[in-house]
Structure 1
Amino acid sequence: MSLRQLPLLAVLLLLFVAPAYAAKRVDLDFNVKFVPDQDTAEVELLLEDGSVVRYLDFKLGDEGIYSDFQADGEGTWQQENGRGVWRPAPGKARLSYRVKVSHQRKSGRFDARMTDDWALLRGDDLVPSGRLDQQDGVRLISRLKVELPEGWKSVETGWPRIGKNRFRIDNRERLFDRPTGWILAGKLGSRRAKLGETDVTVAAPVGEGVRRMDVLTMLTFVWPEIQNVFPRDPKKLLIVGAGDPMWRGGLSGPNSLFMHADRPLVSENGTSSLVHELVHVFSRITDADRSDWISEGLAEYYAIELVRRAGGMSEDRYQRVREDLTKWSRKVDSLRTEHSTGPITARAVLLLQELDREIRQRSKGRHSLDDVARGLMRLDKVTTDDFINITETMLDGGSAVLDTRLLR
């Protein structure tokens, strides 16, 4: 290459590379202040330059957990039919409102709760989902800052920490980066470890009976196996827990999950609620068209299988688990439903175990159900037809296991 060609090459490189770095970066700060005596959180959105956003259209719902909206300056706020639209003013723009924190289900259990000493909730509720309309060539840089009441010690989220009680929110799959996933604040106890490339934190309010080291040990045990199936390395994973009257089970969220303090790491039926929720976090498989059996079935299948692969389950105990699943699901005649029940999930696990065996036999060990799961991870929403198509493409033909009335 001659020296005369170098300037032209540099120009061509700039033409292709520059657009990736030419986006205007504008700060969007979420400031949250917990107010325990009112069971609320005061939230404000601070936008560095309001002129770059035409509007933010929030889905507020009809439960009345959001109130006292105020837009500063020339900005406007319009609310009707369960939605609210913020049109920021040019220059520095601010929207503030209040959020009711504690949420009690029909069962009487809480999936979000605030006491005098701590708050446990999902960031999805602090900042509702919304449609963002912004100027082209703009990238919003989102951050979360939490102000704690007097006496509260710390706050944990599933996002990387960038300062005291400050976190960077960066979800490349969304235009509107908001602080989704579990948030725990107050008088806390925490245990931390580095697993693979992920910073793992297990945290709970002091005195809630959460066995943090037990959870961390279980995670260390199954981590290599779950990464083999779901090749993702989140920067951070947060696991939170608490006792009654919180929801007596597990609930997953982005980069985070909740487990009730009384849930065993491995239950008497041989499955692990912890690994079940971990599969949801890593796979991010969501379903549509009455296909909840897929996400719930895969989570429960791997809750058994990953413990088995890690050496935590003998063959005879594995067979007893299958017998229990068979008894539990004997009355199930279809897997198709919007919300999978325990018996339906149990029958789905049996089908997936049979399918894994079929794939391994027909491919002579080259493929397994793991390959199907990794294919499903690439889809936004998964249907039963998607599941069948991916499987049959891999098998280069129809599946005897999937040719069943259970999937109709």
Structure 2
Amino acid sequence: MSMRRAVLSVFLLSLSAPLWAKNIDLDYHVRFLPDTDQAEVSLTLEKGAPVISLAFNLGKDDVYSDFKADGEWTQDSPARGTWQPADGKATLSYRVRINNKRDSGSFDARMTNDWALLRGDDLVPAVKLRQEDKTVLVSRLQFDLPKGWKSVETGWPRIGKNKFRIDNPERKFDRPTGWIVAGKVGTRRAKLGETDVTVAAPVGEGMRRMDVLTLLTFVWPHAQDVFPRDPAKLLIVGAGDPMWRGGLSAANSYYMHSDRPLVSENGTSSLVHELVHVFSRISDRDRSDWITEGLAEYYAIELMRRAGGLSEERYQKLREQLIGWSKPVKSLRTDNSSGPVTARAVLLLQELDREIRQATKGSTQPRSLDDVTRGLMRLDKASTQDFIEISENVMGGASDVLDNKLLR
């Protein structure tokens, strides 16, 4: 890094917190240990005194072990541990198991002798922070890679060799959430809009990096029109079997199995579906997962259509398939939207978009489902009732489409 860029990085870090704040450095250090299927993780506070306690949710399994702390570490149960840091410079260290096998036998986190692919959420578990007023933790993440491992990629801005700045303005405690890939990794990069996009995967895992970037280049302007967010960075990772054969979104990043088609035979795109999750960050409550999954699949189709990648004939055939697939569905209300429920949700959203466009046609400000989506993005979690109220507010009246027993 040049001297000018180094000075600029320090300057930007100094602006990341209010001027009245008491900034305390928090440095994460991760060392992968392939021989033991573990990573050694440490959290070092520049000054421990302003931090009263950090209570960790360690989960049900025996994933975390070998805790050592400056100060006091107490573990009331296997699922919960609390660190009360020493007053001066204080470090908490532990080990975490990397490989995580699903019931299906596939992995959603894996480490081999040559690479690791996982979410940072697992390296540092969820934390409840208690600290003195006006204290701001300035967080950085540093990796120590095994011999022969080439590089590491995360969804956070890089500030040095294998070093990243973790800054989430929505949270008081900045964890290194999102996907991480490290080892013998191949990467392709592009600047799309205001976002630095990186597609990275272990060498030899069959990830079509340039194909991914090409498709994203086509749909990106249309995604920007819908979602008024431009993440500074987006990381897309992937690998082949025995990794999970699907897609999983996370903070500033998402995962796609390398064998998944970028565009399926019916014209939808898992790649765009997960992009919508990352851009919209819409989550749900009150048995309303149809909103989250329905919107992601609706825009996986619609953005491809707007980009010119889906003809009207192909679009209508896709609708016929959705109708057939969703026939057994009696209600959209569920905590976990299945494929048929998501298909029926897409049909409802398409009908609602037409209804809104027709109702506001000729007005000074024509509206569409895009306006409903932007309204939902302002909510912490959206319920079906929230969705109905926002939709009818956008439309300027009651909706016949939403007066539907599927939503009860």
The TM-score, its normalising length taken from structure 1, stands at 0.94
Q: Is the 8 A contact 2:73 2:81 kept in 1?
A: no
SS of equivalent to 2:49: helix
Matched, 1:262 2:273: no
Q: Distance in 2 between matches of 1:261 and 1:392?
A: 41
Matched, 1:331 2:295: no
Once the 2 structures are TM-superposed, how far is the Cα of residue 397 of structure 1 from its aligned partner? Answer: 1.9
Matched, 1:37 2:35: yes
SS of equivalent to 1:41: strand
What residue number does 1:62 align with?
60
1:298 to 291, 295, 298: 295
What residue number does 2:404 align with?
404
Matched, 1:24 2:25: no
Matched, 1:220 2:213: no
What residue number does 1:364 align with?
361
Unaligned runs of 5+ in 2: 1-16
What is the one-letter code of the residue matched to 1:226? A
Q: Distance in 2 between matches of 1:406 and 1:201?
A: 40
SS of equivalent to 1:21: coil
What is the one-letter code of the residue matched to 1:383? S
Task: Flag the 1:144–1:326 CA change in 2: closer, same or farther, 3 A.
Answer: same
What residue number does 2:242 align with?
245
- Aligned pairs (5 A) from 1:62-141: 62-72=60-70, 74-80=71-77, 82-141=79-138
Percent identity between the aligned chains?
71
Matched, 1:272 2:250: no
What is the one-letter code of the residue matched to 1:163? G
What residue number does 1:49 align with?
47
Q: Distance in 2 between matches of 1:76 and 1:110?
A: 31
Q: Is the 8 A contact 1:70 1:77 kept in 2?
A: no
What residue number does 2:377 align with?
377
Q: Distance in 1 between matches of 2:196 and 2:388?
A: 36
Q: Distance in 2 between matches of 1:360 and 1:389?
A: 17
- Aligned pairs (5 A) from 1:279-358: 279-358=276-355
Q: Distance in 1 between matches of 2:379 and 2:245?
A: 31
Deviating 4+ runs (over 6 angstroms):
none
Q: Distance in 2 between matches of 1:370 and 1:92?
A: 49
SS of equivalent to 1:220: helix
Once the 2 structures are TM-superposed, how far is the Cα of residue 20 of structure 1 from its aligned partner? Answer: 3.4
Q: Distance in 2 between matches of 1:59 and 1:289?
A: 24
Once the 2 structures are TM-superposed, how far is the Cα of residue 395 of structure 1 from its aligned partner? Answer: 1.9
Once the 2 structures are TM-superposed, how far is the Cα of residue 334 of structure 1 from its aligned partner? Answer: 0.4
SS of equivalent to 1:51: coil
Unaligned runs of 5+ in 1: 1-18
Query: Which shifted more, 206-215 or 19-28?
Result: 19-28
Once the 2 structures are TM-superposed, how far is the Cα of residue 79 of structure 1 from its aligned partner? Answer: 3.7
Deviation string, structure 1 residues 170-202 (Cα, Å, up to 9, x no partner): 000000001000000000100001111111000
The TM-score, its normalising length taken from structure 2, stands at 0.94
Once the 2 structures are TM-superposed, how far is the Cα of residue 76 of structure 1 from its aligned partner? Answer: 3.1
When Rg is computed on C-alpha atoms for both structures, the one with the higher figure is 1
Q: Distance in 2 between matches of 1:405 and 1:62?
A: 38
Q: Distance in 2 between matches of 1:396 and 1:315?
A: 29
Once the 2 structures are TM-superposed, how far is the Cα of residue 375 of structure 1 from its aligned partner? Answer: 0.4
CA RMSD of aligned residues (A): 1.0
Once the 2 structures are TM-superposed, how far is the Cα of residue 75 of structure 1 from its aligned partner? Answer: 3.2
- Aligned pairs (5 A) from 1:380-395: 380-395=380-395
1:146 to 143, 148, 160: 143
Q: Distance in 1 between matches of 2:81 and 2:296?
A: 35
Once the 2 structures are TM-superposed, how far is the Cα of residue 22 of structure 1 from its aligned partner? Answer: 1.4
Q: Is the 8 A contact 2:56 2:126 kept in 1?
A: yes
Q: Distance in 1 between matches of 2:216 and 2:394?
A: 31
Once the 2 structures are TM-superposed, how far is the Cα of residue 61 of structure 1 from its aligned partner? Answer: 1.0
Q: Is the 8 A contact 1:67 1:98 kept in 2?
A: yes
What residue number does 1:4 align with?
none
1:231 to 221, 228, 232: 228
What is the one-letter code of the residue matched to 1:27? D
What is the one-letter code of the residue matched to 2:48? G
Q: Is the 8 A contact 2:333 2:406 kept in 1?
A: yes
SS of equivalent to 1:403: coil
Once the 2 structures are TM-superposed, how far is the Cα of residue 81 of structure 1 from its aligned partner? Answer: 5.5
Q: Distance in 2 between matches of 1:63 and 1:255?
A: 27
Q: Distance in 1 between matches of 2:139 and 2:395?
A: 44
What residue number does 1:3 align with?
none
Q: Distance in 1 between matches of 2:22 and 2:75?
A: 28
SS of equivalent to 1:312: coil
Once the 2 structures are TM-superposed, how far is the Cα of residue 64 of structure 1 from its aligned partner? Answer: 1.0
Q: Is the 8 A contact 1:71 1:77 kept in 2?
A: no
